[in-house]
Amino acid sequence: MVVDDLKPQVLIIDDEKGLRLGTKRLLESEGFIADVAENGTEGINLARSKPFDLAIIDLKMPDLDGIEVLKEIRKIDPNIVCFIATAYASYETAIESTKLGAYSYIPKPFTPEELLLQLKKGYEKRLLILEAEKLKKEREERLLEIAYEKTRLKTILNSITEGALVVNKTGELVLYNSSALKYLDLHEIFIGDVILEILPPEITEMIKKFIDSNEYIPNSYSTQIELKPNKELIVEATCSPVPHADGSLAGVVTVIRNITEAKKVEDIKSQFVSMVAHELKTPVAAVIGFIKIILDDTFGVKPEQQKDFLNRSYVRLNGLLAMVNDLLDISRMELRKTQREIKELDIAQVLKSTLDFLELELKKKGITANLSIGCSDCHLMADQNEINRLFTNLISNAIKYNKDNGSIDLEIKRSGNYLRIRVSDTGIGLKAEEKAKLFQEFFRVKNDKTRGISGTGLGLSIVKRIVDSYAGKIEVESEFNVGTTFLIFLPIKENGQSSSTQK
Is the distance from CB of 398 to CB of 387 less than 8 angstroms? no
d(CA 400, CA 444): 13
Is the distance from CB of 473 to CB of 467 less than 8 angstroms? yes
C-beta closer to ligand ADP: residue 309 or 442: 442
C-beta closer to ligand ADP: residue 168 or 392: 392
C-beta closer to ligand ADP: residue 210 or 486: 486
3-state secondary structure of 345: strand
C-beta closer to ligand ADP: residue 383 or 425: 425
Least spacing, CB of residue 370 vs ligand ADP, in Å:
16
Is the distance from CB of 165 to CB of 256 less than 8 angstroms? yes
Q: Mapped to the 3 state alphabet, what secondary structure does 348-413 carry?
A: HHHHHHHHHHCHHHHHHHCCEEEEEECCCCCEEEEEHHHHHHHHHHHHHHHHHCCCCCCEEEEEEE
Q: Mapped to the 3 state alphabet, what secondary structure does 265-280 carry?
A: HHHHHHHHHHHHHHHH
Binding site for ligand ADP (CB under 6 A): 393, 397-398, 401, 425, 427-428, 430, 438, 443-445, 450, 455-461, 484
C-beta closer to ligand ADP: residue 93 or 456: 456
Least spacing, CB of residue 368 vs ligand ADP, in Å:
16
C-beta closer to ligand ADP: residue 22 or 457: 457
Q: Which residues pair with 225 in a beta bridge?
A: 235
Least spacing, CB of residue 273 vs ligand ADP, in Å:
19
C-beta closer to ligand ADP: residue 21 or 276: 276
Least spacing, CB of residue 328 vs ligand ADP, in Å:
15
Q: Which residues does 11 contact at the CB level (< 8 Å), separation at least 6?
A: 34, 35, 36, 37, 43, 46, 47, 52, 54, 55, 56, 73, 80
C-beta closer to ligand ADP: residue 105 or 401: 401
Q: Mapped to the 3 state alphabet, what secondary structure does 180-209 carry?
A: HHHHHCCCCCCCCCECHHHCCHHHHHHHHH
Least spacing, CB of residue 502 vs ligand ADP, in Å:
21
**Other residues' Cβ atoms within 10 Å of the Cβ of residue 386:** 23
Least spacing, CB of residue 252 vs ligand ADP, in Å:
52
Among 160, 159, 141, residue whose Cα is nearest residue 149 = 141
Least spacing, CB of residue 458 vs ligand ADP, in Å:
6
Q: Which residues pair with 222 in a beta bridge?
A: 238
Least spacing, CB of residue 406 vs ligand ADP, in Å:
11
3-state secondary structure of 25: helix
Least spacing, CB of residue 466 vs ligand ADP, in Å:
13
C-beta closer to ligand ADP: residue 110 or 439: 439
Is the distance from CB of 282 to CB of 323 less than 8 angstroms? no
**Other residues' Cβ atoms within 10 Å of the Cβ of residue 15:** 16
DSSP element (H, E) containing 315: helix 303-334
Quote helix, strand, coil % in the chain, to nearest 5.
45, 25, 30
C-beta closer to ligand ADP: residue 74 or 449: 449
C-beta closer to ligand ADP: residue 176 or 401: 401
Least spacing, CB of residue 449 vs ligand ADP, in Å:
9
Q: Which residues pair with 412 in a beta bridge?
A: 373, 421
Please identify the residue of the shown chain whose CB is closest to the bound ligand ADP: 455
User: Can you point out the beta strands (E) in 216-266?
Assistant: 221-228, 233-243, 249-258
DSSP designation for 299: G
d(CA 437, CA 391): 20
DSSP element (H, E) containing 133: helix 112-159
Least spacing, CB of residue 423 vs ligand ADP, in Å:
8
Least spacing, CB of residue 216 vs ligand ADP, in Å:
58
d(CA 495, CA 230): 47
C-beta closer to ligand ADP: residue 177 or 393: 393
Least spacing, CB of residue 450 vs ligand ADP, in Å:
5
C-beta closer to ligand ADP: residue 243 or 457: 457
